[in-house]
Amino acid sequence: MCGIVGYVGPNSSLDVLLAGLSRLEYRGYDSAGVAVIDDAGHIGTRKRAGKLKELLGELEETPLNDGKTGIGHTRWATHGGPNDSNAHPHLGDNGKLALIHNGIIENFSELKQEMLDAGESFTSETDTEVAAIMVGREYRATGDLTESMRRVVARLEGAFTLLIVHEDSPGVVVGARRNSPLVIGLGDGENFLGSDVAAFVGFTRRAMEIGQDQIVTIRPDSVLVTDFDGAAVQNTEYEVAWDASAAEKGGWASFMAKEISEEPEAVANTLRGRIHDGAVTLPELAVLDDVVLAGINRVIVIACGTAAYAGAVGKYAIEKWARVPVEVELSHEFRYRDPILDERTLVVSISQSGETMDTLMAVKYAKASGARVLSICNTQGSTIPRESEAVIYTHAGPEVAVASTKAFVAQITALYLLGLHLAQVRGTLSAEAIAENVEELRAVPEKITEVLEVSKSIGQLAHWMTDTQSVLFLGRHVGYPIAMEGALKLKELAYIHAEGFAAGELKHGPIALIEPGQIVFVVVPSPRDPSSLHPKVVSNIQEIRARGARVIAIAEQGDAAVLPFADEVIPIPLAGSFFEPFLAVVPLHIFSMELAMAKGLDVDQPRNLAKSVTVE
Ligand code: M6R
């Protein structure tokens, strides 16, 4: 939520900031703004409500003197509506200092009153402006930008990443972070700050983490990191595993279309190096060694949104394979209900971004309560992995579209690897059974590629549905979370009311929603499924058909039992029942994207959303 970029070096800071903002825009797009210290030592700012293109238009109409020090911001509004005056940067010290912020300053009302009492005035409704004014006052007192930041962060409560520049300190950007992300990009004679590495990966792939409650001061040739008390700290440098081209559209109509096409690769890359001779190897779990994992008596998966649906798919497999109870809970519900945790509880957090505040808080809580904490994450160097004892990285590559697609299948892959690893350690599956499942996993990427091929016709299906008011999704067993995921995608992209149900639950109430013409997607289990759920779901289809619903079934190739009752059938290749989610979800991702496009909506940046939800 909110993208932040900072630059000091020999080059045009406007070029760096605007390139960074275009890569960070997925974090929020309610407004954008920049502040630059020009070569004459004056600070200039431009900011505009709306997407980055509005700011670009503004810069064209009223150009800004460029310079070599600057900060830039793209906003997801929390305090104060998305208008020009609430856009960042905010100014302090009579306009000589500019500040940008990601997060929420929870005690801003009392601080604002204190500033008003001291004679300061405000031009916005944001919580951020109070920090700008406070740092400006401290700078007047100390003349030291880092010290001013230190004094102010000591008084702030909540979550924040702050960046500041002051025209009397050209060539310096100071940043601070508590519970919100900030990463350093290390260049040659230039340095960068960003909410994530996408901000600067076009300029350097050398990055350095910034820990919790730390302040960083960058100059062209130096980087100094201290804690909030001023003690120097040494952080770890790392190489970003992907280059700038991975975060570009590369000829696709949208990032979402590109990322759906990368679903096979996301699975294959997450498997790479982790399966050998029909068994799973996860060296990254060293801290959670076999003794620890053999001793756990419960797994709690915590996540939000799509990541939570991946967790719900994983629950079925982990329980089946490792014979350990698995609960799946939304991070924000888990955190505030006083859950019972001990050292035999394994908490598994799932997050694409590694920055989701609800999940981060739940991870910290679980750790403090004595549970063992493992994370599944797609973003190297992000906060959640750093707060966890061990991490299984998904290797889906950068996911830019706000709607999560390739990360979802990569998360299920990581959960399945974990489930099989637990089964190995706990001796709950034979070596042959493990090898069979590993083989199924290995075959997934190719099967997703087949689904992508047959799903090309979904666009036509979507085109006649642009006036649809409501769509229902049904599934059972591992198909149930897929129904939920299908509904979430449709809501967030096409702004259509959608609900996912367990098909067995239909007769307990939701069937009352069925009226002639109601569109219902049904994820049909394989007719070969040993649990014999197939005939039950086919009966559900008949029940809704009898009441006039229009049924679109996602069913295994050759499933003749479905044909007479479905209006449309989207065929998926044969796979073991635990592996159907990888295949059934793909047409649903494509459908929501196509329908949103048919309605003329922006599929990469749906309204009111942000990619990385860094506020609670
Ligand atoms: O970065 P995370 O995986 O922690 O994000 C969790 C959710 O915010 C995310 O999956 C969200 O639901 C997506 N917009 C769904 O497409």
Would you list the DSSP string of 439-455?
Answer: HHHHHHHHHHHHHHHHG
- d(C-alpha 104, C-alpha 254), whole Å: 31
Asked if the model's pLDDT at residue 242 lies above 90, the reply is no
Structure confidence by residue, pLDDT tens digits, 7-62: 999 999 999 999 999 999 888 889 999 999 999 999 999 999 999 999 999 999 99
CB of 379 closer than 6 A to ligand 1? no
d(CA 309, CA 320): 17
385 and 377 Cβ atoms separated by less than 8 Å: yes
611 CA from centroid of ligand 1 (Å) = 7
Which residue from 577, 521, 518 is spatially nearest to 547, judged by alpha carbons?
518
Domain with CATH 3.60.20.10 in the chain: 3-247
Domain 3-247 in CATH 3.60.20.10 = yes
Tokens found for residue 133: 């004014």
For residues 535 and 113, give the distance between their C-alpha atoms in angstroms, rounded to a whole number: 66
86 lines ligand 1 (CB under 6 A): no
The per-residue pLDDT for 457 is 84
Q: Which residues pair with 520 in a beta bridge?
A: 472, 551
Q: Could you tell me the pLDDT band of residue 433, with boundaries at 50, 70 and 90? A: very high
CA of 261 to the centre of ligand 1 (A): 19
Helices and strands in the chain: count of H runs, count of E runs: 18, 26
Token pair in block for residue 500: 């996912």
C-alpha distance across the termini of the chain, in Å? 11
C-alpha to C-alpha distance for 331 and 303, rounded to whole angstroms: 5
154-193 as b/e, with b when 16 or more CB fall inside 10 Å?
Answer: eebebbbbbbbbbbebbebbbbbbbbbbbbbbbbeebbbb
Which residues belong to CATH 3.40.50.10490 in the chain?
Answer: 255-429, 456-598
State the Cα–Cα distance between residues 51 and 22, nearest whole angstrom.
10
pTM: 0.85
Measured in Å, residue 613 CA sits from the centre of ligand 1 at 8
The response to whether residue 404 sits with its C-beta less than 6 Å from ligand 1 reads yes
pLDDT in the model for residue 76? 87
- Pairing state between β 568-572 and 550-556: parallel
Which residues are catalytically annotated?
2, 611
Q: Whose CA is nearest to atom 14 of ligand 1?
A: 403
Give the angle 463-467-468 at the CA atoms, nearest 5°: 95
Given ligand 1 and candidates 196, 313, 352, which is best to mutate, with the most ligand atoms within 8 Å of its CB? Answer: 352
On whether the CB atoms of residues 290 and 425 are closer than 8 A, the answer is yes
Q: Which fold has domain 255-429?
A: Rossmann fold (3.40.50)
pLDDT tens, position by position, 93-139: 999 999 999 998 999 999 999 999 999 999 999 999 999 999 999 99
Beta strands in 236-337 (DSSP E): 237-239, 275-276, 279-280, 298-303, 326-330
pLDDT of the residue at 222: 97
**Residue 550 DSSP class:** E
Residue 267 Cα to ligand 1 midpoint, Å, equals: 18
Q: How far apart are alpha carbons 581 and 125 in whole angstroms? A: 45
Nearest of 249, 245, 258 to residue 201 by alpha carbon = 245
Q: What is the CATH number of domain 456-598?
A: 3.40.50.10490
**Mean pLDDT (whole number) for 322-350:** 97
pLDDT at 445 over 80: yes
The response to whether residue 351 sits with its C-beta less than 6 Å from ligand 1 reads yes
- Whether 403 is in the pocket of ligand 1, judged by its Cβ within 6 Å, is yes
